[in-house]
Amino acid sequence: MSVLALAGVSRWYGNVVAVNDVTFEVGPGITGLLGPNGAGKTTLLHMMAGFLAPSAGEVRLDATPTWRHPQVYRQIGFVPEREAVYSFLTGRQFVVASARLSGMAGAVAAADRAIDMVELRDAADRAIGGYSKGMKQRAKVAAALVHDPPTLILDEPFNGMDPRQRLSMMDLLRAMAADGRTILFSSHILEEVERLSDQVLVVVAGRLAASGDFRRIRRLMTDRPHSFTLRSSDDRRLARELLAAPEIESVELRDGVLTLRTGDYGALTRAVAPAAQRAGVSLLELRPADESLESVFSYLVRR
């Protein structure tokens, strides 16, 4: 059981604030750190893992500050986002070296176990330089968990993995969490966080925009008004027809673009086609106007 705690943590580079007064605790289980690219996720993770000094505030793992206390790495496994690895080592040598640097006895046996956990056995005796991105990622994970740390921090662990590898990595993290480990991973992909994490931290522009149970945050995200843009053979005719549908909150026709807003995603998609049929208009395109993660985030921030 270990708890990572951030208290009033900020980090700035000159005049640029990368992380702004963030306070939270991460305990056992899987916590997803969600945010768009450039939101400060890596800065935050690096401060949590003790690779970066907070400009203000403090990060502690249980009682020990992580910055400038290398002994905390007995309790932490860290998987960096960067792909760089010692390309001249084989996967096995890399994991064994990682075990030895952690001061483990029985490093070779531990490396064997870690390699099996990430399913890298077949490639373990090849040089890492020839690995695919997904294989490198798994070698990095094996090196991070070889000393069986109670806390695992992973920066964008699913980058470059194919869907099958993604699933098996998710299973691995779930199994490790079930053993009572504290696991924190970052991602800019909503679906990954949704499938894996019990707790979610949403970071936008260096601030903690939301935190807590994923279902609660999911509701926050889905309750917001959705907007769609629409193209058809006769937008004005279609707009008149759509305005009659109660599911649709507003219809706007500006600069030749027809925009619809609704609180009920499902009802809108069911209402559009019949309306077009009634109006005798051909639908050319219906697309969500703001489904990018960034707009979801900015909605959360405004609340």
Partner 1 sequence: MIATLACLTLRALLNRRRTLLLGLLGALIVVVAMVYRLGGPAEAEALDFTADLLGNFGLAALLPLVAVIVGTSALGSELDDGTIVYLLAKPVPRPLIVIVKFMVASGVTGLLVALPIIVAGVIGAGGDPSLGIGYAVAALFGALEYTAVFLALSLVTSRALVIGLAYVVVWEGVVAGLFAGTRILSVQQHALAVADALVDEGGVTAELAFATALPIGVAVTIGAVVLAVRRLSLVELRGETG
The only residue of 4, 9, 46, 145 in contact with partner 1, by rule CB under 8 A: 46
Q: Is 132 in the site for partner 1 (CB under 8 A)?
A: no
d(CA 135, CA 149): 21
Give min distance, CB of 273 to partner 1, in A: 40
Q: Is 88 in the site for partner 1 (CB under 8 A)?
A: yes
Q: Is 15 in the site for partner 1 (CB under 8 A)?
A: no
Q: Is 71 in the site for partner 1 (CB under 8 A)?
A: yes
The only residue of 1, 23, 37, 132 in contact with partner 1, by rule CB under 8 A: 37
- What is the β-pairing status of strands 151-154 and 182-187? parallel
Q: Is 24 in the site for partner 1 (CB under 8 A)?
A: no
Q: Which is nearer to partner 1, 209 or 258 (CB)?
A: 209
d(CA 284, CA 264): 22
Mark the segment that binds partner 1 (CB under 8 A) among 57-65, 83-91, 223-231, 251-259.
83-91
Q: Which is nearer to partner 1, 39 or 245 (CB)?
A: 39
d(CA 253, CA 235): 8
Q: Which residues contact 123 (CB under 8 A, 6 or more apart)?
A: 91, 131, 135
Q: Which residues contact 30 (CB under 8 A, 6 or more apart)?
A: 173, 174, 177, 183, 184, 185, 196, 197, 198, 199
Q: Is 303 in the site for partner 1 (CB under 8 A)?
A: no
d(CA 139, CA 79): 10
Helix pair 214-222, 293-302: axis angle to 10 deg: 100
Q: Is 40 in the site for partner 1 (CB under 8 A)?
A: yes
**DSSP of 48-74:** HTTSS--SEEEEEETTEESTT-GGGGG
Q: Which is nearer to partner 1, 64 or 282 (CB)?
A: 64
Give min distance, CB of 62 to partner 1, in A: 15
Give min distance, CB of 286 to partner 1, in A: 33
Q: Is 103 in the site for partner 1 (CB under 8 A)?
A: yes
The only residue of 1, 8, 23, 53 in contact with partner 1, by rule CB under 8 A: 53
Q: Is 168 in the site for partner 1 (CB under 8 A)?
A: no
48 within 8 A of 66, measured Cβ to Cβ:
yes
Q: Is 209 in the site for partner 1 (CB under 8 A)?
A: no
Residue 230, sorted as left (phi over 0), alpha (psi -120 to 50) or beta, turns out to be: beta
Buried b (16+ CB within 10 A) or exposed e, 163-180: eebbeebbebbeebbeee
φ, ψ dihedrals at 230, nearest 5°: -140, 140
Give min distance, CB of 66 to partner 1, in A: 11
Mark the segment that binds partner 1 (CB under 8 A) among 86-94, 245-253, 259-267, 280-288.
86-94
Q: Is 86 in the site for partner 1 (CB under 8 A)?
A: yes
The only residue of 144, 183, 245, 251 in contact with partner 1, by rule CB under 8 A: 144
The only residue of 22, 30, 85, 145 in contact with partner 1, by rule CB under 8 A: 85
Segments in 234-292 forming alpha helices (H): 235-243, 265-279
Please, what is the Cα angle at 281 between 275 and 285, to 5 degrees?
85
Per CB under 8 A, residues contacting partner 1 are: 18, 37-43, 45-46, 49, 51-53, 68, 70-74, 76-78, 80-82, 84-86, 88-89, 97-98, 100-103, 143-144, 155
